[in-house]
Amino acid sequence: MLDSGWKRLHWGDTRIHLLEPMEQPGPCGALLVVDRVTPAERCLLEACYKRSISWFAASEEGADLSLPDWVAKVRHYLKCGLLVAVSAEDLQDSDGTPWPMHQWLPEISAGGYPVVPVSVFPHWGHSQEGAPGRWVPRRTQLHEKRVDIVVGKPVVGPATGKNIRLQHDLLATRASLARKRHNLTPPRLFLRVARRKWAESCFLDGAVATGEMTFGRALTASLLMADIFKNLLPNEEMVGVWMPTGTGGALVNTALALCGRVAINLNYTASQAVNDACLSQTSVKTIITARRFLNRLSFEPGSGRKLLILEDTVGKATGFAKARAYFRARFLPLGMLESWLGCNAQQPDDLATIVFSSGSTGAPKGVELTHGNIVANIQSLIAYGDIFPEDRMLGVLPFFHSFGYTITLWAPLCQGISVAYYPDPRQGRDIGALCRKHASTVMLSTATFLRFCLKRAEVGDFDSVRLLVCGAEKLPVPLAREFSERFGVLPIEGYGCTELSPVSNINLPDLVLANGRKLLRNQPGSVGRMVSGCTCRILDPDTGLPMPDGMPGMIHIAGANVMRGYLGQPGKTAEVVHEGYYRTGDIGYVDERGHIVITGRLSRFAKSGGEMVPLERIEQMLHEELPSTDRVCGVSCVPDQTRGERVVVLFVPEALAEYGIDIKTWLKRLSARGIPPLWIPSERDFLPVPEIPILGSGKLDLQQLAQMARTLAGSNG
């Protein structure tokens, strides 16, 4: 047994960090189950054990054996007292016979051999399609010469695949949390990547005439802006940003981060009232924007705040200022550059941004995301998601969305990935053409935006895409199938929340190996497995106790990506974050393969067009338009093929007639409140009922309300 605490070993030029406890197996046979086994990881694990390890992964050494023969071979090695290592993987044979881990692991462990889960974080390679054992070696830009190895306690007796996978998740989360305090911040990572990849493509913006910007030019422009912002905003911690998705918005966010400001990207699809409510919670005095964008979407900063127009400041920078920015970007030592910027004092727990998300009442809540949250989520996705520095990303999600801010803004800058931006995700034809032009390989979208591409993009536009991830709303299996049939790339579903920075789960495309076998990583209908560094638990929503295996319950997720809290609302934070776990408000379960399947939503929100729509708040506003305190309506949601979900209102017509108000007048008053269009139900979705279902406690019977809504909406066409 090693002493408690982190132990550091050196293997070549690599620092190996071991997290206690790590027990050296005795002379008897033992099975190591590693979450993913690459050649580099094999060498690292060999350095940690005193005994020789016999590697026998089903997809590699066991590739030529049938499943029964492979299981028999592993059990024979264990019986001989060997320390055997296998990979946690689900396979499908060339004849279609499945080899899931939850099938073969209990057979191997039935002999009473100890099963030891091992997690290596981050992973140093990814399986390449084409041959068993063929790997694409790569080093992440985040920590090139460090790897964390976490070994769980041995499981004696029959072990289930699900439990071992959950142990892997927990071990990787411990490693992620332990390394979080040592991580560099996103702007400091960007400085290092830009120096290393100075002449390589960074931004590929379809809405800008120049079309392309290298990492060197991006760093130079960011330093020029940072110098200007430091002088113009000397005492402002938080700065608003009113910019679309594109190179300009990315540079503004990067410059603000470099000079130590907290960027707050405002939602330009929301009403002025909503943005005013968001800004009122912050100390923002200045909102940065561009005149061209302001002419298209006007914005009133409000009392005590002002607009800073880029064309009037950065656009008038002198030649000397530009030359100075270039010299600093190209030649100034990083230590001196960081000291001048002040970002050398940035800590992982310092605030990076505030992303506003609707709360349980529909009022905007500011989600505080730290530098450590952002880096941890990027690190998790890169380690798990088969994303390489050579990839080219297609970014269409707005920066006021946490998915857009973390994954399409900072992930490329921290990993040296080029990204092509387009400001309007609804323009399917232009997005398809942009993807074809730049041969993008990674695309992030939502189901709603995929429908625009399906209708308007040309066949062949997405031929270069190998990873298409959809989040923010449910991805219908028929939509994914139709998109795959038309464009040749299968959209896969991911999951996350703003409070999780945001990604926690993701499916991955299945990999076909050279011998015809398939590595199964996608489970349609699920949101995928936990990304490296995240773990979950399923609890009873009422008692908070763990749910029985396979039973749906409230999903709680932990990791270094969990938010710092809600801005100025410690009480709200305490309600949803407990012992490091964030209560998502979604109901689901973990299936046999370790994928999370979401079955419902406990909190009263609809996900429409990728946005969260607060049903309780709409219900409250509808009642406020009536001269009575009686419950006249109940608001629910039903599935919708176009938007994911749509809002429906169940109302008592007799009560409405009593107040002398018809549905059109009711809707007009609701619209006059200036709420987002997605919040407003259509006239056909006002469904008459004899009475509103009420529980004995006097509360609204949400389950009965939802059932009535589905029945009536179906019969209403």
Which regions in the chain score pLDDT beneath 50?
Answer: 1-6, 129-133, 143, 359-362, 696-698
Report which of 109, 28, 409 is spatially closest to residue 245, judged by C-alpha positions.
Answer: 409
Distance, first Cα to last Cα, the chain: 67
Q: How far apart are alpha carbons 330 and 219 in whole angstroms?
A: 9
For residue 397, the SS3 value is coil
- Name 559's Cβ contacts closer than 8 Å, sequence gap at least 6: 173, 176, 177, 376, 380, 500, 504, 533, 534, 535
For residue 680, the SS3 value is coil
Q: How far apart are alpha carbons 712 and 717 in whole angstroms?
A: 9
pLDDT tens per residue, range 188-247: 999 999 999 999 999 987 555 566 899 999 999 999 999 999 999 999 999 999 999 999
> H-type helices in 286-386, by residue range?
291-296, 310-313, 319-330, 334-341, 371-384
Specify the pairing of strand 30-34 against strand 115-121: parallel
Tokens of residue 334, six digits: 């990083």
CA distances in angstroms from 56 to 86, 237, 334, 558, listed in the order given: 5, 55, 45, 32
pTM flag (> 0.85): no
Tokens of residue 611, six digits: 């946005």
- Output the DSSP codes for 501-552: SSEEEE----EE-TTS-EE----TTS--EEPTTEEEEEE-TTT-PBPPTT--
Q: Is the dihedral of CA 564, 496, 382, 63 positive or negative?
A: positive
Q: Which backbone phi and psi does 684 adopt, to 5 degrees?
A: -70, -15
Tokens of residue 91, six digits: 């396979």
User: How many alpha carbons lie under 13 Å from residue 232 in its C-beta half-sphere?
Assistant: 21
- Name 484's Cβ contacts closer than 8 Å, sequence gap at least 6: 490, 491
Specify the pairing of strand 534-539 against strand 553-559: antiparallel
pLDDT at position 381? 86
Q: How far apart are alpha carbons 119 and 149 in whole angstroms?
A: 6
CATH for 186-585 is 3.40.50.12780
- Domain 605-715 -> CATH class: alpha beta
Q: How far apart are alpha carbons 146 and 148 in whole angstroms?
A: 7
**Bridge partners, 583 (sequence order):** 556
Q: Rg for the chain (alpha carbons), in Å?
A: 27
E strand spans, 223-379? 238-242, 262-265, 286-289, 306-309, 351-358, 364-370
Q: Token match 């929340």: residue? A: 497
Q: How far apart are alpha carbons 470 and 84 in whole angstroms?
A: 38
Q: How far apart are alpha carbons 575 and 560 in whole angstroms?
A: 19
Tokens of residue 262, six digits: 């907290």
pLDDT at position 222? 97
